[in-house]
């Protein structure tokens, strides 16, 4: 399988008034045309890893890596214009905070249409039809109505799917999806995963799937990286999650409330300081 993305020793830190916050501390992995899951504890650096790949790290942060390479392009030294062009067409990220990332003063439909028209030469009419088709593909009922709504007028799950539609309409080769289905009810969640799955299987898209839902990741992804305190603590074949070695990963599997089990209070992790070394 050909490698499209190489990340070697990625580090992201934020200088603040009260000291430096090291968000990502030496993360390394490669990605081919596959589904790579990233799970990990809240604040462990998952989103910042994705943002660094996309070139969306906040300007005041410090970022370094031995290698950060997408299809032969050195992302760390590429000029901003090259990175912007990449972002518009070949690489895309579904951000964790969809409503916050959508333009609040533009209708959902227009945002999708504009994304499509910046990288493909299509008529207004065709762009509109394709945008509506994309909204329908992500299971939005009443896509015609939602097309004209503004981000504050849609539900949490609708905003999330609007963001997914907007990112997919450009047909990216690499997609970073940051908690793309966390606001969706389970039936819709499966439909959306089905779409992503097809893009990987049929179009050879590379997918980084960031999620806190271990059960979902293990049923959907090929490989899973587990992060804790800015580092990768474990990498597993998704089917092998049951044999996880790291106590954080093992603990995760045990503390989910499950249908039909009655555990009050839920077991919690006994976090050890050495996990964060």
Partner 1 sequence: MTAIVSAENLTVAYDDFLALDAVSIDVAPGESFGLVGESGSGKSTLLRAVAGLSPVASGRIMLDGKPLDAKYRDKAFYRQVQMVFQDPYGSLHPRQTVDRLLQEPLAVHGIADAEKRILRALDEVGLGSSFRFRYSHQLSGGQRQRIAIARALIIEPQIMLLDEPTSALDASVQAEVLNLLEQVRRDRKLTYIMVSHDLGVVTHMCERLAVMKGGKVVERLSSADLVAGRLKEDYTRNLMVASKGFVRAASMA
Ligand X SMILES: Nc1ncnc2c1ncn2[C@@H]1O[C@H](COP(=O)(O)OP(=O)(O)OP(=O)(O)O)[C@@H](O)[C@H]1O
* Neighbouring C-beta atoms of residue 142, cutoff 10 Å: 11
Among 235, 208, 234, CA closest to 221: 208
- Least distance between ligand X and beta carbon 88 (Å): 23
Q: Are 30 and 7 in contact (CB under 8 A)?
A: yes
Position among 3, 103, 118, 155 found at the interface with ligand X (CB under 6 A) = 155
**Comparison of 92 and 170: residue with beta carbon closer to ligand X:** 92
**Comparison of 43 and 88: residue with beta carbon closer to ligand X:** 43
**Cis before 58 (ω within 30):** no
Position among 1, 3, 20, 21 found at the interface with ligand X (CB under 6 A) = 21
Binding mask 81-120 for Mg ion (x = CB under 5 A): ---------------x------------------------
Q: Are 12 and 63 in contact (CB under 8 A)?
A: yes
Position among 4, 5, 37, 47 found at the interface with partner 1 (CB under 8 A) = 47
Q: Does 144 bind partner 1 (CB under 8 A)?
A: no
Q: How big is the chain, counted in residues?
A: 277
Sequence-separated (6 or more) residues with CB below 8 Å from residue 85? none
Pairing of strands 5-16, 67-70: antiparallel
Stretch that binds ligand X, among 104-112, 120-128, 154-162, 213-221 (CB under 6 A): 154-162
Position among 42, 77, 121, 123 found at the interface with ligand X (CB under 6 A) = 42
Sequence-separated (6 or more) residues with CB below 8 Å from residue 159? 98, 99, 102, 151, 183
Position among 37, 55, 151, 157 found at the interface with ligand X (CB under 6 A) = 157
The partner residues of 91 in beta bridges, in order of sequence, read 174
Q: Does 229 bind partner 1 (CB under 8 A)?
A: no
Residues that bind ligand X (CB under 6 A): 14, 16, 21, 23, 40, 42-48, 58, 96, 149, 153-158, 183, 212
Residues that bind Mg ion (CB under 5 A): 47, 96, 155-156
């Amino acid at each position: 399988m050909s490698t499209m993305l190489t990340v070697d020793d990625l580090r992201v830190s934020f200088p603040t008034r009260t000291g430096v916050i090291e968000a990502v501390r030496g993360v390394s992995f490669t990605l081919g045309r596959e589904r790579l899951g990233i799970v990990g504890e809240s604040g462990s650096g998952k989103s910042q890893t994705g943002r660094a790949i996309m070139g969306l790290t906040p300007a005041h942060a410090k970022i370094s890596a031995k290698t950060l390479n997408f299809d032969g392009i050195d992302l760390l030294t590429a000029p901003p214009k090259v990175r912007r062009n990449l972002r518009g067409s070949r690489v895309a990220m579904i951000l964790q905070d969809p409503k916050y990332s959508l333009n609040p003063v533009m209708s959902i439909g227009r945002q999708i249409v504009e994304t499509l028209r910046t990288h493909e030469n299509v008529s207004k009419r065709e762009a509109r039809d394709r945008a509506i088709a994309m909204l329908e593909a992500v299971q939005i009922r009443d896509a015609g109505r939602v097309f004209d709504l503004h981000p504050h007028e849609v539900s949490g799950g609708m905003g999330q799917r609007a963001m997914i539609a907007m990112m997919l309409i450009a047909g990216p080769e690499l997609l970073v999806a940051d908690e793309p289905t966390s606001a969706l009810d389970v039936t819709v969640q499966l439909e959306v995963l089905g779409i992503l799955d097809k893009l990987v299987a049929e179009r050879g898209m590379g997918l980084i799937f960031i999620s806190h839902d271990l059960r979902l990741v293990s049923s959907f992804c090929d490989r899973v990286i587990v992060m804790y305190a800015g580092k990768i603590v474990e990498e597993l074949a998704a089917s092998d999650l049951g044999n996880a070695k790291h106590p954080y990963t093992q603990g995760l599997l045990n503390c989910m409330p499950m249908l039909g089990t009655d555990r009050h209070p839920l077991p919690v992790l006994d976090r050890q300081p050495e996990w964060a070394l």
